[in-house]
C-alpha cells in the first residue's frame, strides 16, 4: 500500500506543477500576447473548453461541478 501512496503523492505534485504552469501561461499570454511561443494558445484553449461546457447545458454544469469538487478535494487532503 505504501507504493500506491507514493504514486498518489507524485501525481498530486505533478498536477500542482501543471496547474502552476497553466496559470503562468495565462498571465504571460495576457501580458505579452502571442510573443511568448511556449505558452501560446493557452487562453484560447481555455476559452474553447469553457465554451464547450456552456454549450452542453446541464451536462456541462455537472461536469464543471465535478471538476471543481475534485480540485478542492485534492487541495483539502494535500
Is the CB of residue 42 less than 8 Å from the CB of residue 26? Answer: yes
Instruction: Give the pLDDT score at 30.
Output: 79
Per the structure block, which three cell numbers stand in for 31? 501580458
Q: Residue 12: pLDDT above 60?
A: yes
Looking at per-residue pLDDT, the higher value among 18 and 57 belongs to: 18
Query: What is the rounded distance in angstroms from the CA atom of residue 65 to the CA atom of residue 72?
Result: 11
60 falls in which pLDDT band (50, 70, 90)?
A: confident
Q: pLDDT tens, 33-47? A: 777 777 777 777 877
Residues 1 and 5: their CA atoms lie apart, in Å, by 6
Cα–Cα distances in angstroms (integers) from residue 52 to residues 19, 31, 55, in the given order:
20, 25, 5
Query: How sure is the predictor about 75, in pLDDT bands with cuts at 50, 70 and 90?
Result: low
Amino acid at each position: 500500500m505504501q507504493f500506491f501512496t507514493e504514486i498518489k503523492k507524485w501525481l498530486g505534485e505533478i498536477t500542482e506543477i501543471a496547474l502552476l504552469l497553466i496559470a503562468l501561461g495565462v498571465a504571460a499570454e495576457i501580458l505579452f500576447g502571442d510573443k511568448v511561443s511556449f505558452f501560446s494558445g493557452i487562453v484560447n484553449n481555455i476559452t474553447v473548453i469553457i465554451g464547450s461546457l456552456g454549450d452542453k447545458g446541464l451536462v456541462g454544469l455537472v461536469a464543471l461541478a465535478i471538476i471543481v469538487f475534485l480540485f478542492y478535494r485534492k487541495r483539502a487532503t494535500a
